[in-house]
Amino acid sequence: MAKAFRFSSIFGSLFPFLFLSLTPCKGQKNDADAKVKAAFIYSFTKYIRWENQDKLPVFSIGVLGNENTIVDELDKIADIKKVGLPPYQKTLIIKPFKNIESISSVQMLYVNKRSGFEIEKILMKLKGTGILLVSENYPYQSSMINFMLVGNFQKFEYNRKKIEAEKMTISSEIDEFAVTSDKDWREFARQKVGELKDEKEKVETQKEMLSFKEVEIKKKNLEVEQKNREIEQQVKIIEKQKEERNKLFAESEKLLKSLQDNKDKFESQKIEMMKQNVEIEKQENTLKRKKGEAKKLAQEAQKLEQLIEEQKNSLSEKESKIENQRITLYFAAVVVLLIAGFGAFIFRQYKAKQRINKMLEEKNIAIQEQKEQIEQQKKLVDIKNKNITASINYAKRIQQAILISREHLNEIMPQHFIFYRPRDIVSGDFYWAHESKSGKLIFAAVDCTGHGVPGAFMSMVGNALLNEIIIENKVEEVDEILNQMKKGVIQALKQTGAAGEQKDGMDISLVSLQPKFQSFGKGVFSNSKNAINTPLILNFSGANNPLYHFRKGVFTEYKGERQTIGYEKGKENPFVKHSIEVIPGDTIYIFTDGFADQKGGPEGRKFYYKTLINLFSSIQNLSMQEQRAAVKKTFDEWKGNHEQIDDICVMGVKI
């Protein structure tokens, strides 16, 4: 059994309240009784050890009958206390029961005799269940632990045999405070009379201090009124800044439109340049062919020159014989004519070679001029491309300014990560989050039609609609938010369903988070010891995109509606809200489709959603920053040298 703290320290701290609650004073007597009894009931968890206590997911205390004040006081203790010592501390949960048959899944049960239940039937129901029965005003030794009123003082007695029969271990230290006879009760009352008088004097002193505090509170209220007036002035200043921001958005839209026009011109110039490059390649091929033909002509001319040289040698021999061989004169004349014919042929080939060389020189000059023109056009294209890139980078800064800052996001959601990677400089995907004045947290991952500059235009429309619907109009129901966004997109883009009309829109996962039993606060995401441990209600609504929920390794998918935020033919169906109960330690993920559609790996196939689920499941034991690093590493290794095909936005949140 884990070492328990000394019961005397608890008893000493509770004892003054016990006596004040049981004096003849009528005011708030029942509430004080309930507070003391609730404290005693909780203190028993430190002196009694349940079988397999360390393996319990939570520790539950049941209350049988109409004992609302006891339930309320135990709920207050459950808000700030846990059962057991680290590392086996358990969340405390209080369960009311109306009848004996409904009792189940608790470790301790409280019942008062005035509720009218028979102790024998209760013990029969609890037999063999390992449940500790704490009762009040039942006969001596008839229960496991029994509160009894002796005089004006509340005491208790216990039955060790019945407790150990349910396989529970009870510390011997509790014997010091349990009473076994009426004589002990009377002795206890006499000892505490003097202490009761001292406590009354302390109460009077505390009343005087409370009067002084009331005066201080009035002063503080006046200061608060002054602060409220100052806040109203700040609100007016913010409204003025909001008007200036809207003007900036309008200027940004004009700038992005100009960038799109420049991009179209750049594309047309790029196509023209490609055509010119093709023409240059054709001319270079023609030049190579002409050079080959000229080389062949030069080789033939060289052969003819060799032939002429041979004929000259032959002619010299014949001329030496002319004087002696006149019969061969005519034959020699014919040979001379043939040689003259060959000479004329060679001359014509020489002239043809000169004409070809001249044509090649003219072609080279024309090609050089075209090359200089292309290089000049390339310089102009580079300058325009540089200007367009600079303008898009400026648009990126505007888009980043519109997104919620990481500092504010860390303030309202301490345990989260975001993996955000645009395909181009600006993105059609974006994330959004806001904490309302009521403490409700609303966040979303949005995928707009397209990417780059067109996607950035749509992201500005989506961001503006979320601000208007949630922040300005204070709509907090996730399904109604998506219904109004759909109408807003159709109105903003003037969509009518006409033929040839652009079907622009966006897909979204939208989440709101609030506690189940109490107002929401930042403590839900806090790591402090005072963090709220009661179950929370998470509301989700989606357009084509889902929500993934992990609890202790168990995965659940909540799918979005199969419709987009934008115009669609057919009947319009309202979006559906999914209400999910979550507890501390649960993890949820919302995302766009860019990660699952990314091609990569050795076969160049898509990542797919099944692989994404396995990835989230494998990182549940990591911190949120370690999860982001694992998601980033997995994406980079899968993508490798492949081109990124879409914008990516993944958002993970731990409750």
pLDDT higher than threshold 90 for residue 45 = yes
Cβ(426)–Cβ(399) below 8 Å: yes
Q: Check residue 528 and give its pLDDT.
A: 42
Higher pLDDT, 233 or 73: 73
- Residue 435's region, left for phi above 0, alpha for psi from -120 to 50, else beta, is beta
Cβ(520)–Cβ(514) below 8 Å: yes
Q: Residue 525, Cα to own-chain centre: how many angstroms?
A: 14
How far is it, in rounded angstroms, from Cα 74 to Cα 640? 57
As a whole number, mean pLDDT of residues 41-69 equals 93
- Residue 634's region, left for phi above 0, alpha for psi from -120 to 50, else beta, is alpha
Could you tell me what percent of the chain has a pLDDT over 70? 82
Q: Check residue 330 and give its pLDDT.
A: 67
Q: CATH assignment of 7-180?
A: 3.40.50
Q: Check residue 292 and give its pLDDT.
A: 76
How far is it, in rounded angstroms, from Cα 319 to Cα 325? 10
Cβ(145)–Cβ(133) below 8 Å: yes
605-606 and 58-64 strand pairing: unpaired
Higher pLDDT, 330 or 619: 619
As a whole number, mean pLDDT of residues 550-559 equals 96
Higher pLDDT, 650 or 528: 650
Segment 74-107, tens digit of pLDDT: 999 999 999 988 888 999 999 999 999 999 999 9
How far is it, in rounded angstroms, from Cα 48 to Cα 132? 9
Tokens of 28: 């708030």
Tokens of 203: 């109460």
As a whole number, mean pLDDT of residues 555-579 equals 93
Confidence of residue 153 (pLDDT cuts 50, 70, 90): low
Q: Is residue 549 helix, strand or coil?
A: strand
Report domain extents, the chain.
Answer: 7-180, 241-399, 403-654
Higher pLDDT, 314 or 10: 314
Q: Check residue 365 and give its pLDDT.
A: 87
Q: Check residue 356 and give its pLDDT.
A: 84
As a whole number, mean pLDDT of residues 37-57 equals 91
Segment 317-328, tens digit of pLDDT: 766 676 666 666
Higher pLDDT, 355 or 559: 559
Closest alpha carbon to 439 in 463, 421, 413, 415: 413
Q: What is the mean pLDDT of the chain?
A: 83
Higher pLDDT, 386 or 652: 652
Strand ranges inside 127-199, DSSP E: 132-136, 145-150, 153-158, 169-170
As a whole number, mean pLDDT of residues 440-453 equals 92
Cβ-Cβ contacts under 8 Å for 426 (sequence gap 6 or more)? 392, 395, 396, 399, 452, 453, 455, 456
Cβ(110)–Cβ(137) below 8 Å: no
Domain spanning 403-654: which CATH class is it, in words? Answer: alpha beta
How far is it, in rounded angstroms, from Cα 346 to Cα 323? 31
Segment 377-409, tens digit of pLDDT: 888 878 877 877 777 888 788 888 889 998 999
pLDDT higher than threshold 50 for residue 20 = no
- Residue 151's region, left for phi above 0, alpha for psi from -120 to 50, else beta, is left
Confidence of residue 338 (pLDDT cuts 50, 70, 90): confident
Q: Is residue 418 helix, strand or coil?
A: strand
Q: Check residue 297 and give its pLDDT.
A: 66
Strand ranges inside 453-583, DSSP E: 506-515, 536-543, 547-551, 554-558, 578-582
Q: Check residue 298 and give its pLDDT.
A: 65
Closest alpha carbon to 431 in 314, 509, 533: 509
58-64 and 108-112 strand pairing: parallel
| Topology match between the domains 7-180 and 403-654 | no
What's the per-residue H, E or C state across 612-627?
Answer: HHHHHHHCCCCCHHHH
pTM for the predicted model, two decimal places:
0.46
Q: Check residue 427 and give its pLDDT.
A: 93
Closest alpha carbon to 503 in 515, 522, 489: 489
As a whole number, mean pLDDT of residues 236-258 equals 80
Q: Check residue 87 and give its pLDDT.
A: 86
Which position has the token pair 């010119």?
Answer: 276
Segment 485-538, tens digit of pLDDT: 999 999 999 988 888 777 889 999 999 998 544 433 444 454 444 444 567 899
As a whole number, mean pLDDT of residues 46-66 equals 93
**Architecture of the CATH domain 241-399:** Orthogonal Bundle (1.10)
Could you tell me what percent of the chain has a pLDDT over 90? 46
Q: Averaging pLDDT over each range in 26-30, 305-309, 426-430, which range is the top one?
A: 426-430
Q: Check residue 521 and give its pLDDT.
A: 41
As a whole number, mean pLDDT of residues 289-301 equals 71
Q: Is residue 383 helix, strand or coil?
A: helix
pLDDT higher than threshold 80 for residue 239 = yes
Q: Check residue 561 and give its pLDDT.
A: 95
As a whole number, mean pLDDT of residues 582-603 equals 96
pLDDT higher than threshold 50 for residue 14 = no
Q: Check residue 9 and give its pLDDT.
A: 41
